[in-house]
């Protein structure tokens, strides 16, 4: 056969092969990434679109490989443009959220906030890290395989596909105490919150590429706390924390027992209001003096002390060694600034036993914090008193809105040589 015939036969074979490949082209073939859109998997008989909640239920207690037919869809809520997210995407749908571990940086350039994507899960693994379910892959570490990130563009292009119809997720308003597993890896908003006093004047993180990240507690009116974690690689690592109060938005996660929040941008922190005056004394730290609380002994030598039976609280009794002693002892709050306007309240729990003078709740606008409190002007404030026999009672909500400037709140104990009650106080809230 001459060279011309060989060339013609080869050309015909190439044309026929190309035509056949065009005819049998699978409509689920990986699309051109530049097209920015992928066909809806819900139209396919070859795949089943699962909710993120249902996907996480496939975890059987050990790292689990997912079937070829499994697909999930969701909207991107994380953003690594400011360096606070690293090689990870958080995806959310109406049922929950999940973290997808990817061994790539600059992910937000491909999958920005609000981008809807579909993930073909076949061959990927569902694992757990720090108590949360994550989607990733297996890699070899020496002689063993470990659960980790999806490796590189070729693998990512086989699994992640952009879709139309995406819009940024509206964060769900959640109270810190109500955060649960259904909120893992979702975008949340915490209202009426602020950084803990111990973190003021600090920066979000240590602005050094060699430093570890840093956590600061966010607290609400009732002193519920969540850890705001910031990377030292973030663009805002060296920024000073705002001292005001307000709302904060972030991606919620856990690691072990720690509730954690990750912001995408410093704009997620809207602490533009005055700082909340919020004192919460529950004595769980084992000290009656922490937070600036103090005592003043006016009569006798006995003092308030920590009680530990059935919990921790502050207590006072004038009965020692089978004898009652004359006593007047005050347990006093730190100086507290209260605004001229707005609702301000006080509440606490109290319990007592044995006969004697009742405990008195006192409030002063002019006590200096030094010396005999009787030299200042105090207002005696009524509250709901325990029924006795060490039965705890809630004081009720005590209105402080009439007070302005700086106040001290005090519990005044009085005992005589003939009698005296034992009083216990706990969970003092000024907010």
> What CATH number did the domain enclosing 203 receive?
2.40.50
In terms of domains, do 333 and 385 share one? yes
pLDDT of residue 44: 75
Task: Dump pLDDT digits (tens) for 2-30.
Answer: 433 433 333 333 333 333 333 333 333 33
What pTM did the predictor assign?
0.68
Q: Cβ of 218: how many Cβ atoms within 10 Å?
A: 24
Instruction: Quickly state the pLDDT bin for 57 (edges 50, 70, 90).
Output: very high
Please check whether residues 149 and 179 belong to one and the same domain.
no
Task: Using the 3D structure, point to which of 111, 132, 163 is the last residue of a domain.
Answer: 163
Q: In this structure, is residue 145 part of a structural domain? A: yes
Number of domains in the chain: 3
Residue 240 has pLDDT above 80, yes or no: yes
CA distance 294 to 317: 17
Q: Does 207 score more than 90 pLDDT?
A: no
Examine the domain organization and report whether 189 and 227 are in the same domain: yes
What residues pair up with 139 in beta bridges, in sequence order? 146
Top pLDDT among 44 and 129 is at 129
Q: Is residue 122 part of a domain?
A: yes
Residues 200, 132: Cα–Cα separation, whole Å:
30
Is the confidence at residue 244, as pLDDT, over 80?
A: yes
Residue 325 falls within a domain, yes or no?
yes
Least confident of 40-44, 129-133, 313-317, 376-380: 40-44
Using the predicted structure, report yes or no on whether residue 230 has a pLDDT greater than 80: yes
Identify whether residues 158 and 241 lie together within a single domain: no
Confidence of residue 156 (pLDDT cuts 50, 70, 90): confident
For residue 68, the cross-strand partners are: none
80 in any annotated domain: yes
Residue 383 lies in domain: 279-430
Domain-ending residue, one of 95, 130, 163:
163
Q: Assess whether 144 and 246 both reside in one domain.
A: no
Question: Could you tell me if 117 and 210 lie in one domain?
Answer: no
The H-or-E segment that residue 373 falls in is none
Torsion angles phi and psi, residue 91, rounded to 5: -115, 135
Q: In terms of pLDDT, which residue wins out, 406 or 393?
A: 393
With a cut of 50, say whether residue 241 has pLDDT above it: yes
Residues 85 and 207 in one domain: no
User: Has residue 235 got a pLDDT over 80?
Assistant: yes
Rg (CA), the chain: 32
d(CA 297, CA 290): 18
Last residue of a domain, one of 136, 163, 190: 163
Domain shared by 150 and 197, yes or no: no
Domain at 120, CATH number: 2.40.50.200
Tokens of 278: 């919020």
Q: CATH number of the domain that 343 lies in?
A: 2.60.120.200
Task: Please report where in the chains the tokens 């109270």 appear, as a residue.
Answer: 175
Distance between CA atoms of 196 and 216, rounded to whole angstroms?
8
């Amino acid at each position: 056969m001459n060279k011309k015939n060989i060339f013609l036969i080869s050309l015909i074979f190439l044309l026929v092969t190309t035509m056949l490949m065009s005819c049998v082209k699978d409509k689920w073939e990986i699309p051109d990434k530049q097209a920015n859109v992928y066909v809806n998997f819900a139209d396919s008989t070859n795949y089943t679109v699962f909710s993120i909640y249902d996907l996480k239920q496939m975890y059987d207690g050990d790292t689990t490989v997912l079937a070829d037919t499994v697909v999930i869809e969701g909207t991107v809520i994380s953003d690594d443009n400011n360096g606070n997210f690293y090689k990870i995407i958080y995806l959310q749908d109406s049922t929950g959220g999940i973290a997808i571990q990817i061994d790539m940086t600059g992910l937000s350039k491909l999958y920005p906030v609000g981008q809807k994507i579909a993930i073909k899960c076949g061959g990927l693994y569902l694992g757990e890290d720090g108590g949360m379910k994550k989607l990733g892959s297996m890699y070899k570490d020496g002689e063993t395989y470990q659960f980790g990130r999806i490796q590189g563009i070729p693998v990512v292009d086989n699994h992640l596909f952009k879709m139309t119809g995406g819009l940024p997720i509206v964060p769900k308003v959640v109270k810190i105490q109500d955060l649960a597993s259904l909120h893992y890896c979702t975008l949340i908003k915490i209202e009426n919150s602020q950084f803990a006093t111990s973190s003021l004047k600090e920066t979000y993180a240590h602005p050094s590429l060699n430093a570890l990240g840093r956590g600061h507690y966010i607290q609400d009116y009732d002193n519920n706390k969540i850890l705001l974690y910031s990377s030292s690689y973030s663009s805002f690592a060296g920024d000073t924390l705002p001292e005001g109060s307000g709302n904060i938005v972030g991606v919620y996660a856990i690691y072990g027992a720690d509730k954690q929040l990750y912001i995408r941008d410093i704009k997620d922190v809207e602490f533009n209001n005055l700082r909340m005056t919020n004192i919460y004394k529950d004595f769980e730290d084992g000290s009656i003096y922490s937070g600036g609380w103090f005592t003043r002994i006016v009569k006798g030598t006995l003092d308030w002390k920590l009680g530990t039976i059935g919990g921790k609280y502050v207590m006072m009794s004038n009965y020692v060694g089978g004898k009652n002693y004359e006593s007047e002892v005050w347990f006093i709050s730190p100086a507290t600034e209260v605004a001229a306007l707005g609702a301000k309240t006080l509440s606490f729990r109290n319990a007592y036993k044995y006969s004697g003078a009742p405990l008195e709740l006192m409030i002063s606008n002019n006590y200096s914090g030094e010396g005999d409190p009787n030299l200042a002007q105090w207002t005696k404030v009524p509250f709901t008193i325990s029924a006795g026999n060490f039965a705890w009672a809630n004081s009720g909500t005590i209105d402080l809105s009439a007070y302005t400037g700086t106040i001290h709140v005090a519990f005044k104990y009085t005992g005589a040589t003939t009698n005296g009650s034992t009083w216990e106080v706990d969970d003092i809230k000024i907010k």
